[in-house]
Amino acid sequence: MNPAFGAHAASDIDGAYAWRRLAISTLLSTLGGVGMWAVVVVLPVVQAEFGVDRGDASLPYTLTMIGFALGNLVVGRFIDRFGFMWPGIIAAVVMGLGFILAALTTSVTQFALIQGVLIGAGSSATFGPLIADISHWFDRRRGVAVGVAASGNYIAGAVWPIGMQGFIISDSWRATYIGIGIICIAAMIPLLLLLRRRLPEDGHGHAQGAPSRARVQPITVSPPVLQALLVIAGVACCVAMSMPQVHIVAYCMDLGYGVARGAEMLSLMLAAGIVSRLGSGFLADRIGGIKTLLIGSVLQGLALLFYIPFDGLASLYVVSFIFGLSQGGIVPCYAIIVREYMPAAEAGRRVGVVVMATIVGMALGGWMSGWIYDLTGSYAAAFLNGIAWNLLNVSVMVFLLWRSRGFMRAPSTAF
């Protein structure tokens, strides 16, 4: 018997325990999500303390995202074999110790390596692997459950930056990092112990084998070509997406508004992203993943464009809110597209590849925006770079929409 699966009744699927598990999982995702967002908040003070330029200061974020991407694959394999609890506990301890060790670093290189190897990789358990685990406990409401669990990462982005700011100002970023590490270990381990129940043996097959979920919609490109195009689109959209998410705090500091205002805008952006992530799931059920992703990508490009002329304090709050509403649902749509146009038996592998591409795009975009800033002395060119990458994403989605047979039969409903 696979230790990830036990003998509990199939009635656990969609049952009261499943909803309790979802609540715990969302809280874990919110706690563990700090591993992805904390580095964004401390970027300006780390740059100043270590005396490096903006490109080098962006390296810790880039390595965090690389560690996050690889961790989703590695931790996911262990969870498939041993269930979620023990790999989750190990990841929580690794991430917590990573924060404590990062606070003791003496160079940006040390800081970046710890961010990637310990914090990014440890935090990954509370995203892809956690979402995969919760999907096995739901059948009828799986889309809602996955959307709620995935939103925990954005809740983290909305809550943690605000909470960190006061401690960074009153103490230091180092003391704040040590506090985060202690909180993560102390809070996450008891929650993970509540998830010791193993999956029902028949529940897993029921959740994955429903005939209604296995139907593949027609599209006139082969699965390998579709996979390649989704990887390109995933990298492109997230290079664009990373520009405000990674650099909004530093951008506000450059404009003279201060770090605290930038942290508030990041929180507002990600809070709006929670609404977008949930709403896009409902919209995709009605019009399909490609159209939903195309709408989000077009709106994301417009929001990026608005950042250039509207740099007043009030305007930036409004644009950040619009940006959050635009981009939050984009990444989950890739999983929906894979399920719509590729065999269900290949979904895990293909979704994993595309999600990893989006994380690579976030890492690349975070570094690239800092590098462009160093070259030009302004973020205007970095916003234009994000818009260019976003146009590549839009182009891929338009092409896929054109090649889908539903689009060719009914072009008036395309967009």
Q: Which of 156, 182, 210 is the last residue of a domain?
A: 210
What does the alpha-carbon distance between residue 277 and residue 137 come to, in Å, rounded to a whole number?
A: 20
Is pTM beyond 0.85? Reply is no
**Is position 414 within any domain?**
no
Q: Residue 182 pLDDT > 90, yes or no?
A: yes
Structure token digits, residue 68: 């996050």
**Is position 1 within any domain?**
no
Same domain, 291 and 252: yes
**Is position 2 within any domain?**
no
In contact, 20 and 77? CB cutoff 8 Å: no
Question: Cα dihedral sign for 284, 289, 291, 295?
Answer: positive
Q: Other CB atoms closer than 10 Å to residue 74's CB: what's the count? A: 16
Q: Which amino acid is at 219?
A: I
> Which residues, listed in sequence order, are joined to residue 133 by a DSSP beta bridge?
none
Of the candidates 303, 292, 294, the residue with the CA atom closest to the CA atom of residue 325: 303
What does the alpha-carbon distance between residue 256 and residue 251 come to, in Å, rounded to a whole number?
A: 9
Of the candidates 169, 203, 192, 176, the residue with the CA atom closest to the CA atom of residue 91: 192
Q: Residue 208 pLDDT > 60, yes or no?
A: no
pLDDT at site 71 = 85
Same domain, 240 and 320: yes
| Full residue range of the structural domain in which residue 151 is found | 12-197+204-210
- Give, in order, the Cα–Cα distances in Å from 167 to each of 164, 176, 287: 5, 6, 45
Same domain, 183 and 39: yes
Same domain, 185 and 329: no
Same domain, 193 and 215: no
In the chain, the number of structural domains is 2
Torsions phi, psi of 256, nearest 5? 90, 10
Q: Other CB atoms closer than 10 Å to residue 99's CB: what's the count? A: 26
Same domain, 95 and 143: yes
Structure confidence by residue, pLDDT tens digits, 104-150: 999 999 999 999 999 999 998 898 778 777 777 776 666 677 778 88
**Is position 227 within any domain?**
yes
Angle at the Cα of 370 from the Cα atoms of 369 and 374, rounded to 5 degrees: 115
Of the candidates 119, 115, 97, the residue with the CA atom closest to the CA atom of residue 107: 115
**Is position 258 within any domain?**
yes
Identify the CATH number of the domain in which residue 243 sits.
1.20.1250.20
Same domain, 75 and 193: yes
Same domain, 362 and 287: yes
Same domain, 255 and 343: yes
Structure confidence by residue, pLDDT tens digits, 148-159: 888 888 888 778
Instruction: Using pLDDT thresholds of 50, 70 and 90, give the confidence band for residue 302.
Output: very high
**Is position 5 within any domain?**
no
Mean pLDDT, to the nearest integer, of 316-328?
Answer: 91
Q: Which of 210, 240, 271 is the last residue of a domain?
A: 210
**Is position 55 within any domain?**
yes
Our CA dihedral for 319, 322, 328, 334, rounded to 10 degrees, sits at -100
Same domain, 267 and 369: yes
**Is position 384 within any domain?**
yes
Same domain, 163 and 229: no
- 392 contact partners, CB below 8 Å, separation of at least 6: 232, 233, 236
Q: Which of 110-114, 202-206, 374-378 has the lowest mean pLDDT?
A: 202-206
Q: Which residue has the higher pLDDT, 66 or 342?
A: 66
Same domain, 193 and 286: no
Q: Other CB atoms closer than 10 Å to residue 142's CB: what's the count? A: 19
For the chain, what is the total number of helices (H) and then of strands (E)?
18, 2
- Give, in order, the Cα–Cα distances in Å from 110 to each of 59, 60, 201, 320, 365: 11, 9, 44, 32, 22
Question: What is the DSSP annotation of 18-41?
Answer: HHHHHHHHHHHHHHHTHHHHHHHH
Our CA dihedral for 200, 204, 205, 206, rounded to 10 degrees, sits at 90
Mean pLDDT, to the nearest integer, of 334-358?
Answer: 72
Structure confidence by residue, pLDDT tens digits, 13-38: 778 898 999 999 999 999 999 998 89
Per DSSP, helices labelled H in 33-136 are: 34-50, 54-82, 85-102, 108-114, 121-123, 128-135
Q: Which of 210, 243, 270 is the last residue of a domain?
A: 210
